[in-house]
Amino acid sequence: MAHEIVRNEPLNYQDYLVAIRAPEVAAKIKPGQFVVMMLHDKGERIPMSVRTTEGDAIVMYIRKVGKTTHQLIDTPVGGTIKHVIGPQGQPLKIEKHGTVVIATDSVCGHAWSYSVAKALREAGNYVIDIQCFADEKEVYPEWALNKNVCDEHHVMTKDGSVGEKGHYTTLIKQWLAEGRQIDFIYAGGELIKLKHLARITRKYNIPTWVEAHQLMIDASGMCGACRVFVGGEMKLTCIDGPFFDAHKLDFDSMINRYSTYAAEEKIALERYLAQKRG
Amino acid sequence: MGKKIIKKRVPVRERPVEERLKGFMEVPYGYNEDEAIAEAKRCLQCPKPTCIEGCPVNIDIPGFIKAIAERDFERAFYILKKDDPMPAATGRVCPQETQCEVKCVLGKVGDPINIGKLEAFVADWARKNNIKDKPEIHERPQKVAVIGSGPAGIACAVDLRKMGYQVTMFEALHKAGGVMQYGIPEFRLPRDIVDYELKYLEELGVEIKLNTFVGLHIPCEEVREKYDAMFIGTGAGAPRFLGIPGEELKGVYSANEFLIRVNLMKSYLFPEYDTPIKVGKHVAVIGAGNVAMDATRSARRLGAKVTIIYRRTKKESPARIEELHHALEEGVEFMELVNPVRILEKLNQVRGIELIRMRLGEPDSSGRPRPIPIEGSNFVLEDIDMVIEALGTRPNRMFLDRAPFIARDKWGIIQVDEHMRTNQPDIFAGGDAVSGGATVIRALGEGRIAARSIHEYLTKK
């Protein structure tokens, strides 16, 4: 029942590629869906984006943020975790839109954007992929980027140390102002930036779907923790999402409630790190 | 005849309130042997026992009580087990006061027999002495899928397995037990009882597949093809919200979220367990059913002051009397005849709740007086920093969305006949999935009826 870790490689100083054997999930997962992991009997259930599959393993990008992600990354190849549950959520509808932009600025975005870009390209779209990082230190090695699954690839850094300077919001805004044809946008990552993107693309009426982030426990429609408001209607990120129409999504309430447990997450992490130090 | 009537029940010893509030230990200590025998001896052994009629699964109540009175606990256990697959659970969570005990003749002159506590006593005695049913199973080749591992699924799986069928039980969560795992707190139903029943299931040879949401992880059609029959005991696990302004705020929870954190994820043991729970200083719990009491009492144990907000009065509360009584004992404020209008915020966090006063009108479809808002009576309950909505639940739409061939009503409640048959010949259902939210005992009973119907279907096939 336990799931073996088959790859665990650094992408930068804080992000890791982790591949975990989960044959039933790997056989069924579709672009846009996610998994829930629970490392051990006392663990929490955490949702995680999936980049792709390799044989019977799912490949994820994971940042050391809280206790669970630290503990996962600290588990070496050959080690196991207790539960991998999935696929969860709605798969994205892969249709031919024309020109599609996929834009991400976070570790989970860099993960799901790969399979989404690949599928959209195979469906005949011209796929522009924008991957944003803070700086040179954060940029992934070339093999870990989405270059080979899109028609046009942009790496951006806040400080311009690698690739173009700025953020996907600035680039998309510029393209739209210049009249560049964009038929659909998928984006994920920092919620505040997604909110900003929605404001930009609403003006041009460009369909924009973004990955919602909300607290999640069972991730199967039971707890209601992941409720978000889309066009005034309550939706559950776990079963209706995780992708929603950015022009209808209430970002403010999502951003607000998402941070409910920030203090407790800090406590758990500090306790774990202290235990690790002995 | 001529038996001396003892009007008073043998009292149930209970954990003192101060001690209760320090943890999640069970509240009643339960009868010891002498207490159980004394209580059992009060039973009049009516020639036409009405208590049996009150029991949804028609347990031979005078029979098992007589065995207790004769100190034959093993016989008492087997009498109970004949009709009730989980007496340790039902003895604790059944609303006896509206079922068997309300029918007890002694109730007319004094206290009815404490049937619930006697039931729990016998089951606990058997568990401690490792007395269990070890049936000889004559294997049959047919395979049955049981969807959901709560009371209905367990009852159905046990019976089918005893008949020799190859049973696989599918559970969406990482732990089996359904509402007994994620919903009912440990101070009402200790988890060693649930674990014991699940172990028994495995000893019988039922395969339990955890982390498997049928419909999502495996298509319903695939399960249908691989198995000769299917039982749906998927419960009513989806929360309801009031739909009032402010539900997006920090500090607003469904009772499901709160209880799943506390019970399933053991967040009351954070940070030893990784899932946190944040409890306010002053929590408003909306609703007055069993789930509301569970949330209320859990919040008390986590250190909060709690006010129950209910649109009717205590008298109409659908909670078990014992739960309401324990909640009040544990220092909970109960506001009657009020209904929330909106949740107020300060810095995106709950700060209060606006209520409207209600009055009771004519009885509605539930038979209880309909609460009617009193225009202009709005007022604000200040200094509330957490709201838990315990408004009842509904069946999970994700399962139903992916099984469109199963007939259900507009609320997603699966339609069955009295034999628990759905509109599909090979699919049967029971428990909260067909009632929308009822009791453990009713679910157990329906699981057993379904097992008989499945047997009938498979033998005719």
pLDDT digits (tens, 9 = 90+) for B414-439: 999 999 999 999 999 999 999 988 88
Q: B392, B420, B448 — which closes off a domain? A: B392
B 271-290 residues with CB < 8 A to A: 271-276, 278
Cβ-defined contact of B274 to A85 (cutoff 8 Å): no
Look at residue A78 and tell me if it is in a domain: yes
Closest CA to B235 of B85, B441, B435, B89: B435
Beta pairing partners, A229: A234
Query: Is the per-residue pLDDT at B251 higher than 70?
Result: yes
**CATH code assigned at A53:** 2.40.30.10
Closest CA–CA distance from residue A141 to any residue of chain B (Å): 33
- In this prediction the pTM is 0.95
Q: How far is CA A269 from the centre of its chain?
A: 21
Question: How high is the pLDDT of residue B172?
Answer: 96
Domain of residue B167, residue span: 143-237+395-460
Average pLDDT value for chain A: 96
Residues of A with CB under 8 A from a CB of B: 1, 24-25, 28, 38, 42-45, 67-68, 82-88, 217-218, 220-225, 227, 229, 234, 239, 250, 253, 256-257, 259-261, 264-265, 267-268, 271
AA identity, residue B381? L
- Does residue B3 sit within a domain? no
* B266 lies in the same domain as B357: yes
Are residue B122 and residue B147 in the same domain, yes or no?
Answer: no
The shortest C-alpha distance from B207 to chain A (Å) reads: 13
Residue of B nearest to A257 (CA): B250
Cβ <8 Å between A264 and B172: no
Of B213, B239, B275, the CB nearest to A220: B213
Hunting for tokens 């101070």 — which residue is that?
B187
Partner residue facing A85 (CB), from B211, B239, B275: B211
Q: Could you tell me where the beta strands, DSSP code E, fall in B287-385?
A: 305-309, 333-335, 338-346, 349-363, 369-373, 379-382
- At A1 the pLDDT is 67
* Helix, coil or strand: residue A195: helix
What backbone torsions phi and psi does residue A240 show, to the nearest 5 degrees? -95, -25
Among chain A residues, the shortest Cα distance to B396 is held by: A221
Cross-chain residue pair A43–B274, CB shorter than 8 Å: yes
- Tell whether B216 is within 8 A of chain A (Cβ): yes
Mutation site, B171, B191, B208, B211, interface A, largest A CB count within 10 A: B211
B254 and B220 co-located in one domain: no
B104: its two tokens: 């007890």
Question: Which residue among B211, B257, B274 sits closest to A223, beta carbon to beta carbon?
Answer: B257
Residues B109 and B124 placed together within one structural domain of the fold:
yes
Residue B137 placed within a domain: no
Minimal C-alpha gap between B168 and chain A (Å): 16
Is B345 in the same domain as B435? no
What pLDDT, on a 0 to 100 scale, did the predictor assign at position B398?
86
* Neighboring chain A residues of B266 at a CB cutoff of 8 Å: 42
Residue B86 placed within a domain? yes
Residues of chain A in contact with residue B213, where contact means CB-CB under 8 angstroms, are: 220
Q: What distance in Å separates residue A220's CA from the closest CA in chain B?
A: 8
Shortest Cα distance, chain A CAs vs residue B22, angstroms = 21
B6 in any annotated domain: no
- Same domain? B261 vs B309: yes
A221-262 tens-digit pLDDT: 999 999 999 999 999 999 999 999 999 999 999 999 999 999
Residues 6 or more apart in contact with residue B338 via CB below 8 angstroms: B309, B310, B311, B355, B356, B357, B358
Whether residues B381 and B254 fall in one domain: yes
Total domains in the fold of chain A: 1
Three-state DSSP class for residue A100: strand
Q: Are the CB atoms for B289 and B311 separated by under 8 Å?
A: no
Q: Which residue type occupies A164?
A: E
CATH number where B123 lies = 1.10.1060.10
Residue in B with minimal Cα distance to A225: B257
Q: Are residues B30 and B119 in the same domain?
A: yes
Residue B1 has pLDDT above 80, yes or no: no
Model confidence pLDDT, tens digit, residues B181-226: 999 999 999 999 999 999 999 999 999 999 999 999 999 999 999 9
- Of B334, B362, B392, the domain-final residue: B392
Q: Say yes or no for a CB contact (<8 Å) between B172 and A260.
A: no
Q: Find the CATH number of the domain harbouring B155.
A: 3.50.50.60
Taking the alpha carbons at both ends of chain B, their separation in whole angstroms is: 53
How many domains are contained in chain B? 3
Q: Is residue A143 part of a domain?
A: no
Q: Do A28 and B278 touch (CB under 8 A)?
A: no
Q: What's chain B's average pLDDT?
A: 95
| Per-residue confidence (pLDDT) for residue A217, from 0 to 100 | 95
Q: What are A23-54's pLDDT values in tens digits? A: 999 999 999 999 999 999 999 999 999 999 99
Flag whether A30 is in a domain. Answer: yes
pLDDT over 90 percentage in chain B: 92
Return phi, psi of residue B143, to 5°: -110, 135
**Is the predicted pLDDT of residue B49 greater than 70, yes or no?**
yes
Tell if the CB–CB gap between B260 and A218 is shorter than 8 Å: yes
The SS3 call for residue B54 is: helix
Residues B78 and B197 in one domain: no
| Domain co-membership, B406 together with B291 | no
B320: part of which helix (H) or strand (E)? none
The predicted pLDDT at position A237 comes to 95
Question: Which residues of chain B does A229 touch, with a Cβ-Cβ cutoff of 8 Å?
Answer: 248
In contact, B136 and B164? CB cutoff 8 Å? no
Considering the domain architecture, whether residues B251 and B226 belong to the same structural domain is answered as no
Six-digit token string for B86: 């989980």
Name B346's Cβ contacts closer than 8 Å, sequence gap at least 6: none
pLDDT at residue B86 in the model:
93
Confidence of residue B134 (pLDDT cuts 50, 70, 90): confident
Tokens of B137: 């199973």
CB pairs under 8 A between A and B: 114
A28 domain-assigned: yes
Pairwise CB contact (< 8 Å): A224 & B254: yes
Q: How many CA atoms lie within 13 A of A47 on its CB side?
A: 26
CB contact under 8 A, A67 and B274: yes
Q: Which long-range contacts (CB under 8 A, 24 or more apart) does B53-58 make?
A: B53/B103, B54/B99, B54/B100, B54/B101, B54/B102, B54/B103, B55/B83, B55/B99, B55/B100, B55/B441, B56/B99, B56/B439, B56/B441, B56/B442, B56/B445, B57/B83, B57/B84, B57/B441, B57/B444, B57/B445, B57/B448, B58/B83
Structural domain containing residue A25: 3-88
- Are the C-beta atoms of B427 and B234 separated by less than 8 Å? no
**Predicted confidence band of residue B2 (pLDDT cuts 50, 70, 90):** low
Inter-chain CB proximity A217 and B250 less than 8 Å: no
Domain contains B136:
no
Is residue B23 domain-resident?
Answer: yes
Instruction: Output the six-digit token pair for B31.
Output: 């009868």
- Of B128, B163, B178, which residue constitutes the final position of a domain? B128
Chain B residues whose beta carbon lies within 8 Å of the beta carbon of residue A227 = 241, 247-248
Residues B376 and B247 in one domain: yes
Q: How confident is the model at residue B400 (pLDDT cuts 50, 70, 90)?
A: confident
Q: Tell me, yes or no, whether A71 lies in a domain.
A: yes
Chain B positions in Cβ-Cβ contact with residue A261 (cut-off 8 Å) = 276, 278
Q: How far is B425 from chain A (nearest CA, A)?
A: 28
- Give per-residue pLDDT as tens, B337-394: 999 999 999 998 999 999 999 999 999 887 889 999 999 999 999 999 999 999 988 8
